[in-house]
Amino acid sequence: MPSNKSVSDAPIVQFTNCRILRDHQLQREDLWVREGKILNPEKLFFDEKGSADVQLDCKDSIIAPGFIDVQINGGFGVDFSLATDDFKSGIDLVSQKILSHGVTSFCPTLVTSPPSVYHQVLPQISVRNGGAHGAGILGAHLEGPFISKEKKGAHPEHCLRTFEAGAFQDLLATYGSLNCVQIVTLAPEMRRSSEVIRELTKRGICVSLGHSVANLSQAEEAVQHGATFITHLFNAMLPFHHRDPGIVGLLTSDKIPAGRRVFYGMISDGIHTNPAALRIAHRAHPKGLVLVTDAIAGMGLAPGRHTLGQQVVEIDGLNTYIAGTKTLSGSVATMDTCVRHFQEATGCSVETALEAASLHPAQLLGIDHKKGTLNYDSDADFLMLNDSLYVQATYIAGEEVWRQDVSGM
């Protein structure tokens, strides 16, 4: 066997007998991995005269990029919006458990909270790579407190805030720090929101519009200032109206700056969005759809009472309500369930369903040069799935971090 020493001593793994999601198509070819990256086999053969050190038979599995969840409030009894002494062990538990759902990277999400919670929790969240310890952390998603009282959903009203004279300084004082923040959800109709959107965008933070009563022109103005995302489309915003479609109208707006794409999150759990609404959004703007779980602490736990930040919520089957009300409050769906439901509800291709949970969130966050694809030189974060899109194994940086226990199936 020719030596691979010319470039690296690291072993080369060749995944064979698989269909790889690349360039929006499932392609029957092998996947080559070395040092946590996806290799170009042509360069390997012709430039290095190299070959595989290990071959793995994938038994005709689909290989797709790892899922990226940009809105997850917790799970398995852990609530990211609660300041606890063992917050780090909580986030570690969630990142480890979601590997079985195919999630290889995520944005821990905090719902509207008092400033003291942000000041305590945010310093304990650090961006980190995934591995056997769990999914990678891309940075926090701060959903609120600069949102509309009318569309607060499950967010506690007494913690909501508006922008005062020093708008961006108000935001900084509330959060304490933006060091590890990746996304901020705010209501664009709030006074002085434009300058806040500009400042956040300047710092490379993704601004999402949500929990809002904004009309279409307010939403378009926010996009012109840099907003690129819509938080859980249709939920906690004005319903579509033919004379003023509100934030929903961004999906087909002709006022989006050239070269820019607006993305939108959807909770495809069969509860938050009727399948017909899911189909309407997908057909109107397929390339912007980003699947999110919006999962709460109760994900992975038995029905009953759990927390979401400052509120008590009740789980009844797949429904989660603020205790004593019929106000929906996050979901208990897992990302792989959302992908399967989305494909079933829309009749879209397998490729489209998988990209809505991988490529699109990576594009939204501007990390698609290394995550969300199986292109050469990308991070080798990927999944093996069967034809029904059930996850069989999860890999991060080319290492297997979770595998379905076949004996238990």
Number of domains in the chain: 2
User: Do 280 and 143 have their domain in common?
Assistant: yes
Residue 322 counted as domain residue:
yes
Q: Which of 294, 336, 379, 381 is catalytic?
A: 294
pLDDT above 90 for 138? yes
Residue 6 counted as domain residue:
no
- pLDDT per residue over 330-364, tens digit each? 899 999 999 999 999 999 999 999 999 999 999 99
Q: At 135, list the tokens.
A: 């999914």
Q: What is the pLDDT of residue 407?
A: 59
User: Do 58 and 82 have their domain in common?
Assistant: no
Q: Is 232 annotated as a binding residue?
A: yes
User: Do 52 and 83 have their domain in common?
Assistant: no
Name the pTM for this structure.
0.96
Q: What is the pLDDT of residue 5?
A: 46
d(CA 67, CA 337): 12
Q: Is 154 annotated as a binding residue?
A: yes
Split at pLDDT 50, 70, 90, the class of 7 is: low
DSSP-derived secondary structure letter, 66:
P
Residue 114 counted as domain residue:
yes
Residue 333 counted as domain residue:
yes
Residue 93 counted as domain residue:
yes
User: Do 77 and 58 have their domain in common?
Assistant: no
User: Do 281 and 393 have their domain in common?
Assistant: no
Is 294 among the catalytic positions? yes
Q: Tell me if the bond preceding 2 is cis, omega within 30° of 0.
A: no
User: Do 51 and 180 have their domain in common?
Assistant: no
Q: What is the pLDDT of residue 47?
A: 86
| Residue given tokens 């780090």 in the structure block | 88
Split at pLDDT 50, 70, 90, the class of 409 is: very low
User: Do 170 and 51 have their domain in common?
Assistant: no
Residue 331 counted as domain residue:
yes
User: Do 49 and 190 have their domain in common?
Assistant: no
Mean pLDDT value across the chain: 95
Q: Is 211 annotated as a binding residue?
A: yes
- Residue 243 · residue 267 · CB < 8 Å: no
The CATH number of the domain holding residue 35 is 2.30.40.10
DSSP-derived secondary structure letter, 240:
P
| Domain extent for 377 | 13-64+373-403
**Amino acid identity, position 226:** G
Q: How many CA atoms lie within 13 A of 33 on its CB side?
A: 23
What DSSP string describes 90-118?
HHHHHHHHGGGGTEEEEEEEEES--HHHH
pLDDT above 90 for 302? no
Collapsed DSSP state (helix, strand, coil) of residue 79: strand
User: Do 179 and 302 have their domain in common?
Assistant: yes
Instruction: Give Cβ neighbours of residue 47 (< 8 Å, ≥ 6 apart).
Output: none
Q: Is 235 annotated as a binding residue?
A: yes
Q: Is 272 annotated as a binding residue?
A: yes
Q: Is 155 annotated as a binding residue?
A: no
- pLDDT per residue over 37-91, tens digit each? 999 999 888 888 888 999 999 999 999 999 999 999 999 999 999 999 899 999 9
User: Do 204 and 289 have their domain in common?
Assistant: yes
Residue 108 counted as domain residue:
yes
Collapsed DSSP state (helix, strand, coil) of residue 396: strand
d(CA 245, CA 242): 6
Residue 184 counted as domain residue:
yes
Query: What percent of the chain shows pLDDT beyond 90?
Result: 88
The CATH number of the domain holding residue 248 is 3.20.20.140
For the chain, how are helix, strand and coil distributed in percent, rounded to 5? 25, 30, 45
Region 269-280 average pLDDT:
94
Q: Is 73 annotated as a binding residue?
A: no
User: Do 270 and 326 have their domain in common?
Assistant: yes
Q: Any bridge partners for residue 62, and if so which? A: 19, 385
User: Do 392 and 326 have their domain in common?
Assistant: no
